[in-house]
Structure 1
Amino acid sequence: MTLIEESIERRLLIRDESLAVSVIVPVYNEVESLPHLITEIAKSLTESGLSYEIICVDDGSKDGSAQLLKVEAQKRPDLKAVLLRRNYGQTAAMAAGFYYARSHSIVTLDGDLQNDPADIPLLLAKLAEGYDLVSGWRQKRQDAALTRLLPSKLANLLIGRVTGVKLHDYGCSLKAYRAEVVADMNLYGELHRFLPALAYIEGANITEIPVRHHARRFGQSKYGLGRTFRVVMDLLTIYFMKTFLTRPMHVFGLFGLLSTALGTTLGLYLTFLKLGLGQSIGNRPLLILAVLLVVGGVQLFSFGLLAELLMRTYHESQGRPIYRVREVVGKNVN
């Protein structure tokens, strides 16, 4: 067993069976919202009779959120404050929350009070039906139509088509997970938005349910159109992981062979013109294109071979399987 596998195994083994859910809240400059949010989460879960822990991950806030969380965590046994050294982004904050969660069921939501903590029991009930991930769907979203709703709808359509996971609302942070689904996910960039797609790659059973959504009461939104480029780049990464993660040669090799074949065909044609018809080909742009296609094809094919070696090294060095087992049934199962 590798060090990474041992670390994951330890995190799964120290799960607290007495906890029904770990609620993870990434926080960045939400000092006004936090007291209300923590109270509402505790009220919702207490009234539902669910044991819980709240993990607030402060992502380098500058408005006093970290200080407030430190004070609250010292007073409340149900609250754990994880304070990051600087602002790493929501993906890193969620990854930290996953690491420190102790329950077998995990719920994430934003710290701005737009997600409703009263929906947490609904997500957990759906998770208990046998799903690995339950995503919230903000049917009546309370955001600006032009700058938030329209880009979000377009993004959801694009992400669903590229990843194959059809969800109405990828951007909703209110989601419920089984701990083992996120235990070995390595998150970076803006990949928190694509957690359903990443879970789908691992064979997770995914669904969504409608949840409530409220207008922002305090502070300012941290999202904007500026994130579009990063999201698109991460979407391309997800598509490659989903389609060619264990067989990169299939894409690099294919384009390499096509490019080489086309360049060779053009080269043979130009050779016929030169030797067969006696025409001059030195000043023809087609000659340059043929050379570039052949050289580019060889490079793409070489990239494919290197990518294959890297993927084999990745899986073999970590002992990471290329499959995920949902369940093993039998009398003599080791």
Structure 2
Amino acid sequence: MTRHGLDEARRASMGDSAGISIIIPLSERNDDLGDLFATYSQALGRTGRSLQFIFVLDGGFASLADELHGIDPGQHSLEVVSLSRTFGESAALTIGFDRAIHDLVLTLPAYQQVEADSLPALIDAISDADMVVARRWPRHDSRLNQISGRAFHFLLRVITHANFRDIGCGVRLIRRKVLDEVTIYGDQHRFFPILADRKGFRVVEHDMPQATSEASLRVYRPGVYLSRLIDLMGVFFVVRFTKKPLRFFGMVGSALMTAGGLILTIAVVQRYFMSTALSDRPILLLGSLFVVLGVQLFALGLIGELIIFTHARDLKEYAVGETVNFDREKGK
């Protein structure tokens, strides 16, 4: 039996549709884990559902693992997974998804982003959706963080056409069918709602008051902001051009070939009608470079299209919302 089959059998034997699996990855900052578990379990315990807590330690957290081992889970299930080294938060979440036994999976950060008392309302909001993303509102953090967040989400809307207002919040409630269809890697966990929305799942935002502990000013290294921008461009390509690479590379290649052709045309006209020498003009090299780059990019898009065509039968970019069969009664 494959690993996926083992996970399915494990969920079938242990899980139930009314329970919730809570995944808490530890990769960067964290609050006191004992207090955090008590706060989360007390708030979610009011839903009356069976709870499975999964802490995934992304390498190098031996002291935190010891702290978690000393927690009394009470009536809830508690599982601690320690990775051999740092693999990133996407990998930690994926491992948590594999270990989850319930149909509803809730991801929570290792520090409070929202007031825990509002978590039961998030559970109720999943009734008409496949994924619910918490939006921290009203906000208590600094004005600078709010402005930078709005600027980031403005770029996000322009690039992906997805109208999310707090993609950075790690509080998300997800149905199992979404996890079976959407794969994340690298730093794509931040853009999980966009990838799920692209697949056709119903993704909604739910306002939750921001935790008062988040009120302080948070300033990151310049490299962090650059990484976020690069990740955003990566998601732009994944969302818009994964199944049609020729449209992206073809547009860029065609633009370069057109620009290069115009430059070369102007240079030739100047040579024959204005007696301007070509041998010592950088514009000739620039035009030739644009044409060569354009041809290469266009060819790269064609190769991508051939690869997509070859594997088209195995690719699935949609999600079925509902299927209703009306069988004709026998004898009529």
Query: For the superposition of Structure 1 and Structure 2, which TM-score range results when normalised by the shorter chain?
Result: 0.7 to 0.9
How many Å separate the matches in 2 of 1:156 and 1:7?
Answer: 37
How many Å separate the matches in 1 of 2:17 and 2:240?
Answer: 39
Which segment is superposed worse, 96-105 or 269-278? 269-278
How many Å separate the matches in 1 of 2:31 and 2:287?
Answer: 63
How many Å separate the matches in 1 of 2:296 and 2:196?
Answer: 33
The one-letter amino acid of 1:46's match is G
**How far off is 1:233 after superposition?**
0.9
Structure 2 unaligned spans of 5+: 328-332
The one-letter amino acid of 2:78's match is L
Asked if residue 142 in structure 1 is aligned to residue 140 in structure 2, the reply is: yes
**How far off is 1:263 after superposition?**
2.2
Asked if residue 186 in structure 1 is aligned to residue 194 in structure 2, the reply is: no
Query: Which residue is equivalent to 1:155?
Result: 152
Q: Kindly tell me: are residues 86 and 149 of structure 1, through their superposed partners in 2, closer, same or farther at Cα, counting changes over 3 Å?
A: farther
Q: Kindly tell me: are residues 92 and 144 of structure 1, through their superposed partners in 2, closer, same or farther at Cα, counting changes over 3 Å?
A: farther
Task: Give CA-to-partner distance per residue, 1:144-196, whole Å, 9 cap, x none.
Answer: 433x3332222222223322221221111111111111224332232111111
Aligned Cα RMSD in Å? 2.9
TM-score (norm 2): 0.85
How many Å separate the matches in 1 of 2:211 and 2:76?
Answer: 28
Query: Which residue is equivalent to 1:38?
Result: 37
User: 1:308-327, aligned counterparts within 5 Å?
Assistant: 308-313=305-310, 315-316=312-313, 319-327=314-322
The one-letter amino acid of 1:51's match is S
Q: Kindly tell me: are residues 253 and 10 of structure 1, through their superposed partners in 2, closer, same or farther at Cα, counting changes over 3 Å?
A: farther
Query: Which residue is equivalent to 2:21?
Result: 22
TM-score (norm 1): 0.85
The one-letter amino acid of 2:225's match is T
How many Å separate the matches in 2 of 1:162 and 1:285?
Answer: 35
The one-letter amino acid of 2:280's match is N
How many Å separate the matches in 2 of 1:18 and 1:276?
Answer: 79
User: 1:181-220, aligned counterparts within 5 Å?
Assistant: 181-216=178-213
**How far off is 1:204 after superposition?**
1.4
How many Å separate the matches in 2 of 1:17 and 1:223?
Answer: 41
Q: Kindly tell me: are residues 164 and 329 of structure 1, through their superposed partners in 2, closer, same or farther at Cα, counting changes over 3 Å?
A: same
Query: Which residue is equivalent to 1:85?
Result: 84
The one-letter amino acid of 1:17's match is D
How many Å separate the matches in 2 of 1:286 and 1:32?
Answer: 59
**Number of matched pairs:** 322
Q: Kindly tell me: are residues 30 and 296 of structure 1, through their superposed partners in 2, closer, same or farther at Cα, counting changes over 3 Å?
A: closer
Query: Which residue is equivalent to 2:241?
Result: 244
Query: Which residue is equivalent to 2:68?
Result: 69
How many Å separate the matches in 2 of 1:221 and 1:34?
Answer: 21
The one-letter amino acid of 2:186's match is G
Q: Kindly tell me: are residues 93 and 116 of structure 1, through their superposed partners in 2, closer, same or farther at Cα, counting changes over 3 Å?
A: farther
Asked if residue 235 in structure 1 is aligned to residue 217 in structure 2, the reply is: no
For the 8 Å contact 2:17–2:103, the answer to whether it is kept is no
**How far off is 1:243 after superposition?**
1.2
How many Å separate the matches in 2 of 1:123 and 1:59?
Answer: 27
How many Å separate the matches in 2 of 1:82 and 1:192?
Answer: 18
The one-letter amino acid of 1:135's match is V
User: 1:100-115, aligned counterparts within 5 Å?
Assistant: 100-115=99-114
For the 8 Å contact 2:132–2:204, the answer to whether it is kept is yes
SS at match of 2:210: coil
The one-letter amino acid of 1:137's match is R
Q: Which residue among 314, 319, 324 is the counterpart of 1:329? A: 324
SS at match of 1:326: coil
**How far off is 1:267 after superposition?**
2.7
For the 8 Å contact 1:73–1:81, the answer to whether it is kept is no
Which segment is superposed worse, 102-111 or 81-90? 81-90
How many Å separate the matches in 2 of 1:114 and 1:325?
Answer: 33
Task: Give CA-to-partner distance per residue, 1:87-142, whole Å, 9 cap, x none.
Answer: 333222222212211111111111113433332321121111x2111111111333
Q: Kindly tell me: are residues 235 and 33 of structure 1, through their superposed partners in 2, closer, same or farther at Cα, counting changes over 3 Å?
A: same
Structure 1 unaligned spans of 5+: none
**How far off is 1:71 after superposition?**
3.5
Task: Give CA-to-partner distance per residue, 1:264-295, whole Å, 9 cap, x none.
Answer: 33333433443455542222222112211111
